[in-house]
Amino acid sequence: MMGNKKLQVWLPLIFSFILIAGMFLGYELSKPAGGKNRFFSSNTRSTLQEALDLIKLKYVDSVNIDSLEGKAIQEMMNELDPHSVYLPPVDLKEANEDLAGNFEGIGVEFNVFSDTVNVVYVILNGPSDKAGLQIGDKIIKVNDSLLSGRAFSIDEIKNYIRGPRGSKAVLQILRNGKQQTVTVTRGTIPVPSVDAAYMIDKTTGYIKLNKFTENSFEEFMQAMEALKKRGLQSLVFDLEGNGGGFMNEAVDMADEFLDGDKLVVYTQGINSKKREYRCKRPGIFETGKLVVLVDEFSASASEVLAGALQDWCRAKIIGRRTFGKGLVQEQYPLGDGSAIRLTVARYYTPLGRSIQRSYQKGRKIYMDEILQRHSNGELLFADSNKINNGKIFITNCRDTVYGGEGIMPNVFVPIDSSFYEQKLNALIAGSSLNNYIYNYYLRHSQKMEQYNSPSDYVKRFNAGELWDGFIKYPAAAIDFKSINSKEKELIQLRLKALLARYRWRSEGFYQVLNSDDPVIQKALELIK
């Protein structure tokens, strides 16, 4: 009995000692010794991390380890598919803003003419509008930073002008030759994804969507509701040049066109189980005539939407074969403020068509394939536009559709061959057209007030006046004697559209361009 009592007294102390000894032994066994891992060890440091540590500790000169890490990650991304990317901290903010559909700033658009920042548009009811900024104002200084006297990049100017919501931007501006100070309180500035929404005729509406941001579905619904009030019965939905964005926004839009619980798209990957996205509610436009416009730059979410509507025979797809990006990316933050967008699955249309084209020959050949379409005639001839890779599907309306190479349109419309001309491409891509129209608008802004709508402007404004002034413009940098009649018409239309943009923003710009667009004309033929 006495022995048992002594054991009961010492038992808690013995257990405590064993526990502490076990913890110490486990810790010691897991420590590396002599450069080798001990028993039960878990070596979490990769070879890449070991190499970086050696460079940091032993290299002859000082090095930027963060930069080396970024380059190493980028090289790893290059060994994957073309759409898995590394985003350094300096690029991540802008990339996120682009998809968020807003940023924080003063609410102006600007351009640089003769090394001077010129305000070319003031967002209505935005911070700068409330502070009294006007088109034509020249920004000389922001707070203590001078913006004149040397060439600044667009990104540098954005860094000076943008800032946290609620902060102050004290602007020194030049207006009509006189300097004055304007203080602007920065705010959240929306970046619309719906460029234009208007009625082409009494029953046919048009919507132009430039990307799929967090706000795109809401903007789309506002546009649709406004058009329905104006008599919408048929719709031309323009996804030309739309590089994609958030897939869920495309799914929500498809839901407005498709009835029941129809499948819109599904995703699947080796490490990602099949996931279906279906319609969930009655749509705003399930029965009206629908035409979707696409081209070689329509990608990702644009292809998801176009593919679903084509598979279900809900819309006619018009234009040229789409880009062929059918990979799902998810963004993962890294410890230094950077991130990677990693491909985790593939998109498949309701019929099971993969949208993604092959990237097995490397990134360069993959990206150059779009240029190759120009040289092989695919953008000019319907026969060259057809890709038969053996992945053929038949829809319920007996249309033949293809998988694996983007979305093939039901109706092919070639690109205007005039845009192949290097001189015309250089003119449109350069700054002379914009510079000329900006100065023209400043001189004739009151004249533009006589037009009460873009359609009124399209009918009554004579672009000949713009052409006569442009051929005398010193900075035009083009041999006008080499311009043929077709090219002249295209330049005049572009000048007229750019001028409309100052009065009615992007909606005016597209309404003018669309007035003589063969793709739009083909869409109207199908509808009528």
What is the spatial distance between Cα 379 and Cα 453, in angstroms, rounded to a whole number?
A: 34
User: Which secondary-structure segment (H or E) carries 128?
Assistant: helix 127-131
With a CB cutoff of 8 Å and minimum separation 6, the contacts of 96 are none
CB of 408 within 8 A of CB of 321? Answer: yes
CA distance 164 to 434: 30
Q: Write out the two tokens for 244.
A: 């994609």
Beta carbons within 8 Å of 492's beta carbon, 6+ residues apart: 463, 464, 466, 467
Structure tokens of 61?
């000169």
In one-letter notation, the amino acid at residue 304 is V
Determine the Cα–Cα distance for residues 163 and 165; give it in Å rounded to an integer: 7
Cβ-based burial of 418 (10 A; exposed 0-12, middle 13-18, buried ≥19): middle
Q: Are 239 and 209 in contact (CB under 8 A)?
A: yes
Do 327 and 356 form a contact (C-beta atoms < 8 A)?
yes
Tell me if residue 192 falls in helix, strand or coil: coil
325 classed as catalytic:
yes
Report the distance separating Cα 16 and Cα 25, nearest Å: 14
- The 8-class DSSP code of residue 356 comes to P
Q: Which of 300, 302, 338, 522 is catalytic?
A: 300
- For Cα atoms 348, 350, 352, give the angle at the middle one, nearest 5 degrees: 50
HEC per residue, 277-288: EECCCCCCCCCC
Residue 302: active-site member:
no
Q: d(Cα 65, Cα 70) in Å, to the nearest integer? A: 9
Contact 397, 411 (CB under 8 A): no
CA distances from 218 to 28, 34, 181, 407, 429 (A): 59, 62, 37, 25, 32
Catalytic residue among 208, 325, 496, 522: 325
- Could you list the active site residues? 300, 325
